[in-house]
Structure 1
Amino acid sequence: MSQSTRMASVGAPSEASNRVRLGWSNRLLARPEVGAAVAAVVILIFFLVVAPSFRSAESLFTVLYAASTIGIVAVAVGMLMIGGEFDLSAGVIVTSAGLFNALFCYYLGINLIVGAVVSLVFCLGIGFFNGYMVMRTGIPSFLITLGSFFVLQGANLGVTKLVSGAVSSPNISQMDGYAVLSTIFAGSFKIGPVTVWNTVIWWFLFVALSSWILNRTKIGNWIYAVGGNAASARAVGVPVIRVKVGLFMAVSFLGWFVGMHTLYRFNTLQAGNGVGNEFIYIIAAVVGGTLLTGGYGNAIGVAIGAFIFGMTQLGIVYAGWDPNWFRAFLGVMLLLAVMVNLYVKRLSTTRKVG
């Protein structure tokens, strides 16, 4: 066999391998969570180097706990953004849920379990209202939910002060039903020296459920469709109104869930809590690869974005730095995430076309 023949026989598989590698890289770039995963690894290594106390198992599970309290609501916020909408009331509804449960039961002498159910109905009603108003009026969800944000913020402060004479709810730790709800929403268990909060387990379950819905069900296809082009989705029979209203109600449900955790973890709530958290939920989703324009993202990416939030929040403390820098870091991270997500999306699309 001549040298040219040997080179040709070697060259053919090489070209085929290149095509396989190109296809694999295209699929990898098409994953929304890839950029967030790389950023998470870099940030983790950075804090492991600069903050020795960050290296313990206890610190890792503390980070997971901090991430879970943001990540649970961020799961639903991410799905809503994939569906093409925003909910700026997501932060205050967490506080509204807990305050409603505490005040309703304490001053009327009602079992906390009953109050939790009534609080859930109230929160789902807020979510339904937001979604219904967006779909029926055509007003952007940014404005509708901004209005809900101000109403809830004012009601949280006004009603709490009117009823209790203070800006915090009364201590509910001695009331009927407290033990059961505290175990469900704010329980923890030990693995050696490490404390694992139930919210971490709930977070993983909600992420798994969201992934299954988005990737394995007809509803998931509908969510991506209405986020990509609602008019086209409606034309092929997708129930756009029901999908979007359902997504707003999902945000309210998980907001209620975290509100229950916050109440039963600390036994009381400050009426002004939650303001600003709606932006952290959105940042977690965007850092995780969810596009602001809708139709693109997944639950794993949002979870990684929430983990980055928890890791950064506590890593700055463990490193002994001024915690005020955390918000500045979030802003930088958001800008970088938006640019990276758009670049990766364009690169992936260009390669597919080519």
Structure 2
Amino acid sequence: MTSTIEAPAPAAGRVKLGLSNRLLARPEIGALVAAVIIFIFFLSLAPSFRSAESFFTVLYQSSVIGIVACGVGLLMIGGEFDLSAGVIVYTAGLFNSMFCWYFGVNLWIGAFLSLAFCLLIGFLNGYLVMRTGIPSFLITLGTFFVLQGANLGVTKLVTKTVSSLDVSNIDGYDSLGKVFSSSFKVGSVTVWTSVIWWILFVALATWALQRTRVGNWIFAVGGNPDSARAVGVPVLRTKIGLFMTVSFLGWFVGMHQLYRFNTLQAGGGVGNEFLYIIAAVVGGTLLTGGFGNSIGVAIGAFIFGMTSLGIIYAGWDPNWFKAFLGVMLLLAVLVNLYVKRMSTMRKVG
């Protein structure tokens, strides 16, 4: 009698434990908890942070980082890095601006040529990594310096300054602005379309990772390229495609920056590559590849937006922001290792 009454309790405990383990094994859970804590923290300390206008400003700040971070996260899941991702944003905008100004052509032509150039850079990054066996860290570090130097050198050669010229009077400016840098009002709140684009890119990346064969390939090449190749996964095409995805999203943000501000500084973008990587790692992506998702990367970018503006709203010295990023990165690495271990234990179990 006693045994029949007590038997279900351990079973229920095992079910609850299983559900708990499955929840903890989600890559984005650590980032989600951190985002909630940081959000409540700034709500309590910064009164100006509580307004709808401030929230959508945070979303905008997050989207500018989050769009490229989405591609960087996919690439990191695939087991590679791209240190040229920050500079290529400004390469895209500068190419579009100076080409059209110098040759006097429609900005749409420059935008498409800029896209082709950025995709070529992504292709070369991926091709060199796969064909030479040199780590992507070194290949893209070289690309970073080449692009940084070219941005400064070519801009100064064409414009005689270190910034591009105003493109607002060139044909195509208004229509391109509507695509890449428009905004609309919801009550008293300004919503930038970059936020909408960010959500769409994250949704598309999430669908691709979870519902398509390409998503399986990305996880496979990030986890074990040799095993993936042995079962027929096109490792070369997959990794080159991931590098080109980062370049495409970098081009997209470059277009947004150009058509919002009309001009660009040739030295811009340096250091942003680390923000993309931090957003991915904080969002649960492992540095070793094969683990993570796009929702977690989006949450990581949102944490960046909250912190960068929350510190200002709270009236603190913004120089503390980078110290916070360092702490967040270290904590994220520890949390990600724990989550990965939990995931491995669940699979073994």
Q: Shorter-chain-normalised TM-score: which range? A: over 0.9
Aligned-partner Cα distance in 2 for 1:239–1:177:
39
Question: Match for 2:106: what amino acid?
Answer: N
Contact 2:62–2:304 (8 Å) recurs in 1? yes
Contact 1:90–1:255 (8 Å) recurs in 2? yes
Counterpart of 1:58 (choices 50, 53, 64) is 53
Question: Per the alignment, in what secondary structure is the counterpart of residue 7 of structure 2?
Answer: helix
Contact 1:26–1:352 (8 Å) recurs in 2? no
Aligned-partner Cα distance in 2 for 1:250–1:185:
18
Q: Deviation digits for residues 292-313 of structure 1, max 9, x if unmatched?
A: 0000000000000000000000
Compute the displacement of 1:188 (Å): 0.4
Aligned-partner Cα distance in 1 for 2:54–2:3:
56
Question: Match for 2:239: what amino acid?
Answer: K
Aligned-partner Cα distance in 2 for 1:348–1:282:
22
Aligned-partner Cα distance in 1 for 2:318–2:249:
27
Match of 1:102 in 2: 97
Question: Match for 1:306: what amino acid?
Answer: A
Q: If the length of structure 2 is used for normalisation, what is the TM-score? A: 0.99
Q: Does 1:141 align with 2:141?
A: no
Q: Does 1:300 align with 2:295?
A: yes
Aligned-partner Cα distance in 2 for 1:207–1:8:
51
Compute the displacement of 1:8 (Å): 3.5
Q: Does 1:228 align with 2:223?
A: yes
Match of 1:20 in 2: 15
Question: Per the alignment, in what secondary structure is the counterpart of residue 301 of structure 1?
Answer: helix
Aligned-partner Cα distance in 2 for 1:298–1:195:
29
Question: Match for 2:61: what amino acid?
Answer: A
Match of 2:276 in 1: 281
Q: Does 1:240 align with 2:243?
A: no
Aligned-partner Cα distance in 2 for 1:313–1:105:
34
CA RMSD of aligned residues (A): 0.9
Counterpart of 1:315 (choices 310, 313, 316) is 310
Aligned-partner Cα distance in 2 for 1:281–1:56:
27
Q: Deviation digits for residues 196-219 of structure 1, max 9, x if unmatched?
A: 000000000000000000000000
**Number of aligned pairs?**
349
Match of 2:265 in 1: 270
Q: Does 1:69 align with 2:64?
A: yes
Compute the displacement of 1:246 (Å): 0.2
Match of 1:125 in 2: 120
Question: Per the alignment, in what secondary structure is the counterpart of residue 316 of structure 2?
Answer: coil
Match of 2:169 in 1: 174
Question: Per the alignment, in what secondary structure is the counterpart of residue 196 of structure 1?
Answer: strand
Match of 2:34 in 1: 39
Q: If the length of structure 1 is used for normalisation, what is the TM-score? A: 0.97
In structure 2, runs of 5+ residues without a counterpart are none
Question: Match for 1:248: what amino acid?
Answer: F
Aligned-partner Cα distance in 1 for 2:80–2:343:
24
Counterpart of 1:151 (choices 146, 150, 156) is 146
Counterpart of 2:246 (choices 247, 251, 255) is 251
Question: Match for 1:47: what amino acid?
Answer: F
Question: Per the alignment, in what secondary structure is the counterpart of residue 241 of structure 1?
Answer: helix
Counterpart of 1:90 (choices 85, 88, 92) is 85
Aligned-partner Cα distance in 2 for 1:204–1:269:
25
Aligned-partner Cα distance in 2 for 1:213–1:353:
26
Aligned identity (percent) is 76
Match of 1:336 in 2: 331
In structure 1, runs of 5+ residues without a counterpart are none
Aligned-partner Cα distance in 2 for 1:285–1:160:
32
Question: Per the alignment, in what secondary structure is the counterpart of residue 164 of structure 2?
Answer: coil
Compute the displacement of 1:352 (Å): 4.4
Question: Per the alignment, in what secondary structure is the counterpart of residue 190 of structure 2?
Answer: strand
Q: Does 1:290 align with 2:285?
A: yes
Contact 2:25–2:339 (8 Å) recurs in 1? yes
Question: Match for 1:195: what amino acid?
Answer: T
Match of 2:43 in 1: 48
Compute the displacement of 1:351 (Å): 4.7
